[in-house]
Amino acid sequence: MVDDIKKFISDAVSAHFNSQNDYMNELTQWEIEQLKSFISEQNQLVERDRANMQQIIYAACSRLEALDKKVDALQKSIDRLIEVQMSKYDMKESSAVLPKQESVVFYSKMVDSANPVGFKLSNLKKNNEGCAFKIVLNDENGYYECVDDAEIQHELLAAFNPLISDSSVYTDIPQNATQINVVKKGTVIKEKDVLRIIDKQILEFV
C-alpha cells in the first residue's frame, strides 16, 4: 500500500514537472521569435534612419557648397567695389595734391642770355609788341617759337645774327627770303632766373 502511494506521488510529480518543462520550452521559443522580430524591426529602423541621415548630410553639403559660391561671388564684388572707390579716391587725391598747371604765355625780344643760352625771366613780357619770340610755359617747362608776324619776321631776317642763329636750327637760307616757317618748336626749362633753351627751334625760310 505504501509503495502504491509513493508511486502515485512520484507519477504525479513527474507529470507536473514534464508539463511545466513543456510550457517553459514553448515560452522560451516564443520569446526567441519575439526577440528576433524585434531585432529585425530595429535593424530596418536603423537602415531607414541611416538612409535619411545620408540624404540630410548630402542636402546640407549641397547647401553649404552653394553658400560658399555665393560668399565667394560677394567677396569678389566687394573687392571690385573697393578697387573702384580707391581708384576714384586716388584720382581725387592726385588732383588735390597735383592740380593741373595752366600754361602761361610770355614774349621776348631776343635770346638775351648767353650762359646758359635762353631767355631771362626779367625781360619777359605779357604782350607781343616788338617781340620776336613767343614762349609758352607750363610750370618749369615750356616751348618757344618765332612770332607769326610779317613785320617782325622781316626784322628778324634783316638782323639775322644773333636773333635767329642763337635760337634756331635751319638748313639753308634762300636769297630774298621774306617769311619764316616754324617746322618744330624749341623747348626750354626754367633754371633760376633764365629759361634755358634745351632744343632749338627748327626753321625753314621762304
* Residue 94 pLDDT > 50: no
Residues 96, 115: one domain? no
Full 3-state SS string of 31-94: HHHHHHHHHHHHHHHHHHHHHHHHHHHHHHHHHHHHHHHHHHHHHHHHHHHHHHHHHHHHHHHH
* Residue 98 pLDDT > 50: no
* Residue 145 pLDDT > 90: yes
* Residue 86 pLDDT > 80: no
Residues 79, 108: one domain? no
Residues 22, 79: one domain? yes
* Residue 135 pLDDT > 80: yes
Which pLDDT band, with edges at 50, 70 and 90, does 23 fall under? low
91 burial class (0-12, 13-18, 19+ CB within 10 angstroms)? exposed
Residues 7, 86: one domain? yes
- Report which of residues 95 and 126 the model is more confident about: 126
Which pLDDT band, with edges at 50, 70 and 90, does 95 fall under? very low
Residues 56, 147: one domain? no
Quick check: pTM over 0.75?
A: no
Percent of the chain residues past pLDDT 70, beyond the cut: 79
Residues 108, 87: one domain? no
- Report which of residues 157 and 137 the model is more confident about: 137
What is the average pLDDT across 102-110? 92
Residues 22, 62: one domain? yes
Task: State which of 43-47, 111-115, 147-151 shows the largest mean pLDDT.
Answer: 147-151
Residues 34, 126: one domain? no
Residues 134, 95: one domain? no
Structural domain harbouring 14: 1-100
Q: Out of 40-49, 83-92, 130-139, which region has the weakest mean confidence (pLDDT)?
A: 83-92
Which pLDDT band, with edges at 50, 70 and 90, does 96 fall under? very low
Which of 77, 100, 123 is the last residue in one of the domains?
Answer: 100
In 3D space, the residue among 197, 181, 180 whose CA is nearest the CA of residue 142 turns out to be 197
Position 91 scores a pLDDT of 56
* Residue 178 pLDDT > 60: yes
What is the average pLDDT across 127-133? 91
Which of 100, 122, 157 is the last residue in one of the domains?
Answer: 100
> How far is residue 160's CA from residue 155's CA, in Å, rounded to a whole number?
8
Residues 66, 117: one domain? no
Q: What is the number of structural domains in the chain?
A: 2
What is the average pLDDT across 121-142? 93
Which of 85, 100, 115 is the last residue in one of the domains?
Answer: 100
